[in-house]
Structure 1
């Protein structure tokens, strides 16, 4: 039996048309969209949600053009052109019309972000109009499990999202076993949990990583932390350690800290440390908007990637740094052990002395900064095919 035609929702990508820096979820949705662009409109159609409360099919040629512009801009680290925002507006207008097209075969509505999962009524009405079943990717349940790291309204919104998954989804994929376990535990009391498959994200490392990134890299040994600046990422641990090391001085040169990522929420204390702490000036460097190549170059030149998060659903930066042979110090989280095995050095996210010792040891190691043998991780096309196969929406053999 041929797989069902796919209705891929790109609402999140449309909402991010003016953003210079994609989040991890943005990258995931874009990789799936770029892969599915290979298929004809008889097999794959793109859809989007409009705030008036309708989901509609998008014109294919304009959608393909929008996705290519977005991919080029994010790869180069530049803000998408005004054309991307204009296209996003036109596509949303098309979605507002609410057309679903005709089909002789039941379809699969594929939602890869949490964008409008709380709108259960809108999704249910669309599924009936489109004669479609629903397949979903759940990235994490962090707002429910760790509400202290989310905006005040987010835990309730995320519960509504997961309730939609439990009620409407026919199949779910998650990026790691801990996320799958959390989802099953949340949905079990509600009496229904759709089949859940674990499919890791793909690993993207530019083929032409620059040997030098010029003035972006400090003229000293340095470490990198990569990710949105928010409390869950535990930047404060590192900033306090660097302030201590700067205050104590000593004969050994002080390594620098490079922070790469956009500024998130509830981060006033972090930003105060970065901007106002005298001991950190000239030692801590912040970069919010960089191309993929520049990020890879900075990571490649670092003594190690630091990943002291309190909670994660996956951990793309960890995989990508390890794929370049860069040492990684990361929190001892089950998800990190699942995706990285024994390659990183694991530390408790509250163990300040342990992090400091490990950082000092790598700072003093001039023999290629203790580089590790670069392992091989699955690329994005391979993992997209695995995800689509797990959701039973494509067999992965067509359109290659």
Structure 2
């Protein structure tokens, strides 16, 4: 990679204050770990800053300074802010974008593209969303100095779809150790009337590639009639039924819950089920493993790369396979304890400290 001259590394802070998403959570954790890394080491001649909208709150960083927009542009649309105001305000800086998108006309940039699912799973996204992302990915992949992504699988996908050449892409695996710093809140067990160890967690997500329908079919079987399927996230029973899914009576919807409640649910769950047909990384399985929760996953996307030999894998199109593996995780004590131990070892390999180190090394390489 060709080096470029720069005095300041400017993080794109557009995601601060936005609705929480998995991509935003990764950006927050990666920035926090990067700040810790920078604060602990000797100065390297570079300044680090994050630019944000005027009124949003951000964490109290120690080594990354905060630059707020001019109050005169507070009503600017977020796309115009990212594509026009931000790159003009930081035109002399090296810009670092962590949430898939970034300013097209600022070549002195690096962008983290988490996956290529607008290409590989187009049915999960609206047409305007797909067109916008494909348009931006085309130019970002060609113009920006570095493309970060979160797995070797995603790297292969970005190359496959022509977004960027392999020699421009740097893999920075997500960490999962943040869940160990969160004090669990077990209130959802009483709210949903759950028995510890006798329920299975999964995402409440209607996107087709998340493949939650196979879990509905699995839990409709008599073998799992006494086990609850608990879905966390924004999608509701009505949302799934509107798409034609038959939701069995032993499914509970936790809704959008805070991190302490989610950690509490994971810590007491019999298993986490993750039947996705494709994933750029797949953070929930690692979070569950770190908390001692067995994982049953589909052997697709980056999930084998991330989960390794620490998960049970089930055919994503076979409800009986999911029933069998879930019952193994819940009722076969030897298998369960083996999964828990292997899961903790696997999760320990993915830390935000290592992610921040990989990010900083790549940025230093390209900025000289």
TM-score (norm 2): 0.77
CA deviations on 1:350-394 (whole Å, 9 max, x unpaired) are 021111111233343467954521211332233122122223379
Counterpart of 2:99 in structure 1 is 113
Counterpart of 1:53 in structure 2 is none
- The 8 Å contact of residues 205 and 212 in structure 2, kept in 1 or not, is answered as no
CA deviations on 1:143-173 (whole Å, 9 max, x unpaired) are 1122122222233222212211222111111
Counterpart of 1:345 in structure 2 is 312
Mapped pair 1:231 → 2:208? yes
Shift of 1:35: 4.4
Which ranges of structure 2 fall in alignment gaps of 5 or more residues?
40-44, 61-67
Shift of 1:339: 1.5
CA deviations on 1:264-286 (whole Å, 9 max, x unpaired) are 9x954377757xx5x51xx2111
Distance (whole Å) between structure 1 residues aligned to residue 293 and residue 264 of structure 2: 11
- 1:301/1:368 CA distance change after superposition, 3 Å: farther
Mapped pair 1:45 → 2:84? no
Counterpart of 2:351 in structure 1 is 379
TM-score (norm 1): 0.72
- The 8 Å contact of residues 36 and 44 in structure 1, kept in 2 or not, is answered as no
Structure 1 range deviating more: 286-295 or 149-158: 149-158
RMSD: 3.7
Distance (whole Å) between structure 2 residues aligned to residue 89 and residue 216 of structure 1: 45
- The 8 Å contact of residues 258 and 285 in structure 1, kept in 2 or not, is answered as yes
Distance (whole Å) between structure 1 residues aligned to residue 118 and residue 162 of structure 2: 15
- The 8 Å contact of residues 108 and 393 in structure 1, kept in 2 or not, is answered as no
Number of aligned positions between the proteins: 334
Counterpart of 1:392 in structure 2 is 364
Distance (whole Å) between structure 1 residues aligned to residue 48 and residue 175 of structure 2: 21
Distance (whole Å) between structure 2 residues aligned to residue 311 and residue 102 of structure 1: 36
Counterpart of 1:81 in structure 2 is none
CA deviations on 1:154-200 (whole Å, 9 max, x unpaired) are 33222212211222111111101111111122227x9x666111110
Find 1:67's aligned residue among 39, 45, 58.
58
CA deviations on 1:99-151 (whole Å, 9 max, x unpaired) are 85689xx6311111134x4xxxx631xx3xxxx61101011111112212222
Distance (whole Å) between structure 2 residues aligned to residue 211 and residue 231 of structure 1: 31
Which ranges of structure 1 fall in alignment gaps of 5 or more residues?
49-57, 70-86, 396-400
Find 2:221's aligned residue among 229, 233, 244.
244
Map 1:1-400; keep pairs closer than 5 Å. 4-14=7-17, 16=18, 19=19, 22-35=20-33, 43-47=47-51, 66-68=57-59, 93=74, 100=88, 107-115=93-101, 117=102, 123-124=104-105, 127=106, 133-187=108-162, 195-203=168-176, 204-207=178-181, 209-210=183-184, 212-213=186-187, 214-216=189-191, 218-220=193-195, 221-226=198-203, 228-245=205-222, 254-263=226-235, 267-269=239-241, 273=245, 277=247, 279-280=248-249, 283-365=250-332, 369-370=336-337, 372-373=340-341, 374-375=344-345, 376-392=348-364
Distance (whole Å) between structure 2 residues aligned to residue 273 and residue 326 of structure 1: 27
SS at match of 2:49: strand
Distance (whole Å) between structure 1 residues aligned to residue 290 and residue 255 of structure 2: 23
